[in-house]
Every structure is written in C-alpha cells, then in structure tokens.
Structure 1
Amino acid sequence: MDFVRILHAHMRFVGEMIKAAERDVVRNDLYAQAKVYGLNTEKARWIAGFLLEAGLLEEPRYLHLRATSLGKCFVAELPLAEENACETTEEINRDNNCIASSNMLIDKNEQIFEQLHTASIDPSAEGKASGVAFEEAIANIFNFMGFDAKRIGGSGDTDVIVRWKDNEGKNIIAIVDGKSKSGGSVSHSDISDVAIDAHKEKNNAEYVAIIGPGFSGDTIRNHARKKGFALITDAELIEIARMSCSLGLSLQEIALIFQVPDGLSRLEELIAIRQREMDIITYVVSMFEKEQDMLGSLSARDMYYYCAILMFLHP
C-alpha cells in the first residue's frame, strides 16, 4: 500500500483510477478518462493491471473494472487531482500551462525569501519605518510554512507572534524579535532581556526566537542559550522554509527551531534524513519508468523485487 502511495504521488491517475471505478466501469471508458490526465491507453492499462494485482481493483466481468472494498477505503485517504486540472485541447498546451503555473508559484516563493533577506540588512526596506518590512517578512515566511503568524510591532509588545498546535492539539505560541542590521550582525547590546521577558509573559508564549542577518560573538550566543532564546539567521529560516515545502515537513517538526539548545541541529538532521528518503524514492520511480518503457509493463511482483534490489544496492 505504501508503494501505491508513492506511485500516486509521482504519476497521474493512480488513486484517481480507483475513484473512477467505484462503480462498475468499462475498461475503455476508464482509459478515456485517463487521457484527461495526459496518460495514453498503454500506461492506463499498466496502472490498471498493477492495481488489480494489488487487490485495489477487481474484474466483476469481462472488460469491466470495479474498486474493491479495500480500494475504496484506500483511496479515501489520498489527495486526488481535479479532472480538469491543467486540461487543454492539446497535451503539450496542458503541460505548458502546468509548468507555467508551477513557475509562477516558485517565483512567488522566491519573492518571499528575497524580501526577508533584503529587509534583514536594510532597516528602512520598502520605504517603511525602521524594522517594519523585516517584521512583515518574518510573519510572511512563517505563514508560508503553515503557521498562524501575525506582525504586532509597536512599543510594549513583541514584533511577531507565531501560533501552531502540537501533536496533542494544544495551542503553542512563540514570540519573535526581528533585528534588521545594515552591518549584517546582531550583538548582545541589541537585545533587551527585560523587554523580551515582558513580551513573553504578556503573550503567554512558550518560546522566544531572535531573527537577524547574523549574530556576532560568543556573548550573545551564550546568553541566548542561558535564557532559552533561539537565534535564527535569515538564511537559516529561508532554507528551512524551502525544505518545508519540498519535503512536506509538519509544523511540529519545523517548530524544532524554537527549541534551545539543540532544536536547530535536530531539525537539520531530520531534513537530511527526509532528503535521502526523497532521493531514494525519486531514483526508484525513475528506474521503474525506464523499465516500463523498455519492457512495456511491470507487475506488482516485479516492482516488489526490483525495489528490494535497489534498496539493497543503495542502502
């Protein structure tokens, strides 16, 4: 079942085929639906054969397919694509539209990252009052990662409040103090312990983070460790945001950055493990695609043994 989920994540019309066959459907009608997703009849036939062997589809009669009870339960857990997503008259136009949409999303993401970096070393960025653009950029990047983040600013309160729920559904709050420095470095004298402690108590926060372009000297690092303040550079936050998107990190996992003293290193280790898993999955699926092109089809058993061999060769 896990391998079918992998196929569903990397190919079109896998889980969708099970959904389309919830009621008895003729094979040719199913193959016609596959064309909406850009699949030719041969690839649709191969997917159907694999789902049959996996016990997710059955043949109630000749040239007919129907989802099994297992298949219906299984597909209910999957995110399914819309039938008309990126659909055009010509397949090449459809693919071009998908690529264009993806590129627009990437450009928007990069704009968020660039705004954070620029504002981290320019307190008056975007012509706004000192530090405002940086605080707004910090809130934007945490919202991008899925947190509930809001810029507060002003005297007597924190710069940014970040909220999320832990694994038990408990509301967690972190306050963020943004330090934009044209010199590129935040020192111990730039931080007011009294103000931060007051802001933490006022907002009933569990964590405190200070975000800046860089941090100079051991004094600020040692003091932050003693007080439980997480020091995060803009470059570190941008890289974590990129990884959260590409690897699908949960909020609970990303929130490790707020934990002192080893939260950031634990998150970096988790990212490295996830990246290796993703590399292996991508490699395995690419090998399956090559085998499919050469052999014409692969059974579930073929995939099982081939996957076992690949995992043995690339542990």
Structure 2
Amino acid sequence: MKKLWSEKLGALPRIPRAKTELGYLDTLKIIFNAIEKNRPSNEVIRITGSDTDHTLDHYINILKSYKLIYLNEKSEVKICKVLENWKEPKFDEKVGKFLYENIKYISEMLFFLNTPKKTKEILEDANANYNFTWKQTGQVHERIAWLTDLGLINSMSFKQQYEISKKGSQFLKVHPPTPPIDIKKFVLDKTQDEKSIDLSEWILNINLKDNHEKKYTLGYVPGGKSNTIPLIISVLEFSTEIIDYDNLYQLLKRKTDTKKSSINGFLTFMTNLGLLDRVGEKVYKTTETGMKFYETDTPEIALLFLLQKNYRYILEILFELNNEPKTSNELAVAGLTKYGMSSDNKDRINERLSLLRIAQLIINDKGKSIKLSKRGENLLKVLVEKVDFQLNNEISEQTKVEEKGTENYLGIIEETRLASVNSAKPHHFEEMLEKMFEMLGFKTKLEAKPGTTDIVLTAPTVPTFAYKVAIEAKTNRDGKITDKMINFDALLEHKEKHKTDYIAIVGKTFYGERVFRYAENHHILLIDINDLEELVKKHQKYPLQALEYKKLFNQKGKVNISVLDDIYMSMKRRKVLFQLILQALIQNSDDDFTEGFLTEREIYICIKEDELFKEAPVTKQEVRDMLSLLSNPLIGCIGTEGKGYYAKGSLEDAQLKFGFYYSATLI
C-alpha cells in the first residue's frame, strides 16, 4: 500500500558515498555483502574512497531505522524484501523504488527538474510547495547525489544546474510525484470532527499536582518513543501473572533487539509509572493501574497523565499552544523559563512532542510551528474543568505579577533566550537585552551602531555613586560564543568611547577555555543567558537597586551571581520580619490580657524562633528598625503608645499602603 506523505521520512540515510561510478549504490552493496557474509558487528567496514572507520553495527542501526534491513524472529539481520536480491540486475531501479516509497521529495524533485535548476531554486521549491523548512542546501545536495547515482538526473556543471534525465522521465511515469496541493491535506487535523474526549475515571483521578521532585528526562523506550504504547501493552499482558526477569528480558529482546541495560531501563521506567510492580528479586507483576492501562481505550492519553505525575513539562505544553502555534525551539525555551525544566535541551522537548503526536493532541502548522489538534483542544478543556491540574509556581507567580499590571517578565525572558540564537536578527537580541536590564532598574541607551557598544547601562543615582556599563550582545545559531567571535581590543575602545566603568558581554553560553581567559585578561565580564534570567527572576522577589548590582560588574571573566546572596538574604530577612511582626500584633489584637498591645521584648520573643533566624538570630536592632518603619506616620501599619505596639490593620492593608506609595505619580 502506498504510504501517505506524512508517513515518509524527510532525510536520506547518512552513510558515506563511495567514490565510484555508482556512488551510494556501491556503498549499499558493500554493507549488504558484509551482512550476508555474517561479518562481526564490530568489524570496521571500508567504503571505497572514504576514510570513515564505522563498524558494521553502526551501518546496521542506520539502515534498520530506514527499514532497509530488519531483524527476523531469530534476531538475525536481513535485507529488506525489495532489495534482498541486490546482486541481480536492476538493483538501481529497486533502490529508486524504495526511495520513492519511503523518502519525501524524490519524484517531486525530479518533476521540478523538467527544466534545469540550481540548488537554490530546488531549495525554494521544497520549502514553498512541500512544507519543508530547510535553511541550507544540505538535504538538496544529498538528493542530487542519490539521484545522480541512480542515473535519474544529469549535471550541467558549467552552469551549476541540474535537470532530469531520460531515465528519470521514465521513472516519473511509474512513480508520479505528489502534487503540492495534495501536501497540504496531510497537515490537516484528523481529529477535527471530534466533539469531546471521554476519559475513564481512573485517568481523571490521577494526582497531577505539581511535585518538585519530578524528573526531567523521560524513561528509555527501546525502539524509540513511537514504540512506547505497543511495548508497554506487551509487557503488561505478559505480566498479568507473576513473571521472572529472564522471561521479560527474552520478550523485550525479541521485540526490540536491544541491549540488556536498555531493557533494564525500560522496566524501571514502567515501575516508576506504577504500571509494573517488582514483587520480589527479579520478579514482576502488572499492577492494578497497569491492568486499567491495559484495558483502557485511550492508552496514549493515559500514558501522558502518568508521565505528568512523574515528569516535568508534559501536559503544560498544551497550555503553551493554547493561544498560538509555536516551534519546538520556542516550546523548549518555555519549558526552561516557565515550567522548571533544567535546560532547553532539544532532545527533551522532542521526546515529549513525539508522545503528544502519538496521542494526536498536536499537529504541524506552517513551517516549523506546532499547534493543538481538535483533540488537544478538547483535552485542554478537560484539564481546566475536570482535573485538579496545577501549573508550576513560576506561572502562578507570573499571574500575580500580571494582575498587578507589571509587564510579563517571563515572556520577555523567553523572547530574549530565543533571540540569543537568532543570528539572522542580532538587533532583536540587543532590544530584548535592553528590556532585561531595564527590569533590573538600569537606565539604558541602545547604541548598536558600527564603532559603538550595543547598550549603555547607567545606575540611576547621584553622580558620586553612579556607574556605567557597556553591554555587548553576541548571538550565534548554536548558542556557543567563542573567543573567535569577540574582538576584545575593540571592546576596550568602546569602553573608552562611551566613558563606561565596566564592560560585559552577554550571550547564550560561552564556550572554550580561551574566551574566559581573554575576558579576565581584559577585565571584561561574561554573562550567559542562564545567569541573566536568574537575576531577572530574583529581582521579582528581591528588587535590588541598580547600585547594589555593582558587585556583579566588579568581577571579570565568568559572572558569579552568588556575590549578591548576602544582599538577597538581607532583603529576605527584612521581608519575613515585616510579616512576622504584623502577624504577631494582628493575632494579639483580641487578647484580653494584653489588650492588643505588645512591647518590643514581647514581639522579639514571638518571632525569634522562626526558621529563618535559626542560623543567624534576629537582632534587637533589626526589630527596632522594622518597628520604627511600620509605626512611621507615612506608613502607619502599626500604632504605638505607652503600653507598646498594636496593629492598625491587616497584612493586606499594609501591602496596599506600600503599593500606594510605589504607584504614586506627580500631578
């Protein structure tokens, strides 16, 4: 049966091209010959004219993923049915047929080459008409090489153009291309007619409340994430009665032909999800939850709920896609900036997206974007209306900030991180950095012209204490800023030109020992995106003045934001002291014996046992200073007379009073 466009692969096998007349065809023959002769899997396979030293096992893994070879019931490596007679004539025709049936943009590219085209034109056709997002011509050149070796195209080297050969025209008659208009239907939503989603009660009752002990990396699944559900079902069915490890191992070995350590990892994954129970040493049994999973009509959704309970950033992705489509890169960044992921690692977001696609909750949109399917929208409604679902604390904190009318700082952080790897638009990164430093309380001036620094920061205080910083913004597609990308001497000239006190370079990550050594030698500070994000996030809790950030810029080389820890702790102590004193007085307001009054000594006794003051006891001066502040007529949160201090309102009243002064404007 002919495969749908969406079922075909987008890339060709990454194997060396033999330096022979038949190129890739000879490469396949060399590998197939080694397989048929049962060469050891660790034997290095020499490809004619190539200096690669990959083993047979390396090539087996690649070709197996393309279904060019497979494992039979005895776990023996076999060549696929289409190509098993590879020594016979017409091998090239069979390879061409295989590529047509399994790889996107084969006949489509041949059809486009009915008239001579350059590689750039081919790239534009692939992106415009077939929904690819190729930025470079690498995939085009791969196809040119394969089609040339198959004799389906001719090279017009003097014009740097390619056109279809007579053999290629005959090939198209048998293997017609998919028209561009038909490609669009494959990104349509197969669930678009679904009105709702029905889930079993046991799934809806899974505890999804946020747990800070959740893991980041999903458990290993032999054969890839697309194999998750069938493999889990097989194990659960096999383990309905107590089963020993050896039998489970043999089952998984037959199905996946993977290493023992990988099988052990998968069994651990299933036990972590609560599907499988280790009832004794090397003895397993399907759990009650496992039986429900085995019997459910929606195992793909059930798996996501179980993953949500144990791993970070699973169903939250649906919330991220609720308002607009996003790329996988944008979703990865959101996971880091909003949902507590430890990094924006692409592998982590891709394994999550794979499972969401299997459940048909998301679909591809234009370009690289991803959006919710109708089923995804329906599940999102269930999460909001029926499930006790809790987004992580940073989202909750963001909501509180937005309610106060403060700009969405997490959105700015997210956009800044994305801009840091968009080397095509470096000015956008400069603009976002300006916003980040404004949130830290600096006056900023965006320069970003030839011969100037990018941003000049000024601490807004009297000239005696003011300082200025020259900020250099560095973008790179890979996110790695090396010493070769920085002209350190030119930065010193920028410092002199703008009469700044310090220089800092900001980029996603700094890579290589030399960049740190050169920065130290030139007294330049390196701030990566992780550290800048941490500063902005902490600023929401502990709003330092720009003057207090001077300790950062007194450093050279890699920034160490822990130099601010003593200031953060001091602010935290004052905040807790503020709350404790008010709470003590409020709780005492109705006391008959004290009549609502507490002395300085009594207040001290009420608050001194707080956990924060265990290592560094609260001092008499700290208590006196806070009492003086709160009883000041301009604040008026507490009153004082001969008997002592008393509360004049609630803690919320005090917060409103401080907010009143903060938001005050001159008329």
Superposition TM-score, scaled by structure 2 size: 0.29
Separation in structure 1 between the aligned mates of residue 572 and residue 544 of structure 2, nearest angstrom: 11
Residue 118 (1) aligns with residue 413 (2):
no
Do the aligned partners of residues 284 and 180 (structure 1) sit closer, same or farther apart at CA in structure 2, a change above 3 Å counting?
A: farther
Give the drift of 1:212: 1.0
Percent identity between the aligned chains?
Answer: 19
Matches within 5 A, 1:249-260: 249-260=544-555
- Deviations along 1:137-160, one digit per CA (max 9) or x if unpaired, are 111121222211121112211111
> 1:141 is matched with which residue?
436
Matches within 5 A, 1:1-315: 102-103=402-403, 105-106=405-406, 108-124=408-424, 130-165=425-460, 169-261=464-556, 264-292=561-589, 298-301=596-599, 304-312=601-609, 314=613, 315=617
Separation in structure 2 between the aligned mates of residue 206 and residue 188 of structure 1, nearest angstrom: 22
Do the aligned partners of residues 235 and 293 (structure 1) sit closer, same or farther apart at CA in structure 2, a change above 3 Å counting?
A: farther
Give the drift of 1:288: 4.5
Structure showing greater radius of gyration is: 2
SS of the aligned residue for 2:555 comes to: coil
Give the drift of 1:196: 0.6
CA contact (8 A) 1:112 1:140 kept: yes
Give the drift of 1:123: 2.6
| C-alpha RMSD over aligned residues | 3.0
Runs of 4+ aligned structure 1 residues displaced above 6 Å come to 293-297
Give the drift of 1:263: 6.7
CA contact (8 A) 2:466 2:547 kept: no
Give the drift of 1:286: 4.1
SS of the aligned residue for 1:248 comes to: coil
CA contact (8 A) 2:471 2:505 kept: yes
Higher RCO structure, 1 or 2 (CA under 8 Å, sep 6+): 1
Moved more, 108-117 or 185-194: 108-117
- Bigger helix share: 1
Give the drift of 1:101: 7.8
- Deviations along 1:26-77, one digit per CA (max 9) or x if unpaired, are xxxxxxxxxxxxxxxxxxxxxxxxxxxxxxxxxxxxxxxxxxxxxxxxxxxx
What are the ranges of 5 or more consecutive residues in structure 2 without an aligned counterpart? 1-398, 618-667
Separation in structure 2 between the aligned mates of residue 308 and residue 168 of structure 1, nearest angstrom: 44
Do the aligned partners of residues 102 and 191 (structure 1) sit closer, same or farther apart at CA in structure 2, a change above 3 Å counting?
A: same
Separation in structure 2 between the aligned mates of residue 115 and residue 294 of structure 1, nearest angstrom: 53
What are the ranges of 5 or more consecutive residues in structure 1 without an aligned counterpart? 1-98, 125-129
Do the aligned partners of residues 218 and 306 (structure 1) sit closer, same or farther apart at CA in structure 2, a change above 3 Å counting?
A: same
SS of the aligned residue for 1:105 comes to: coil
- Deviations along 1:197-223, one digit per CA (max 9) or x if unpaired, are 111111111100011111123221122
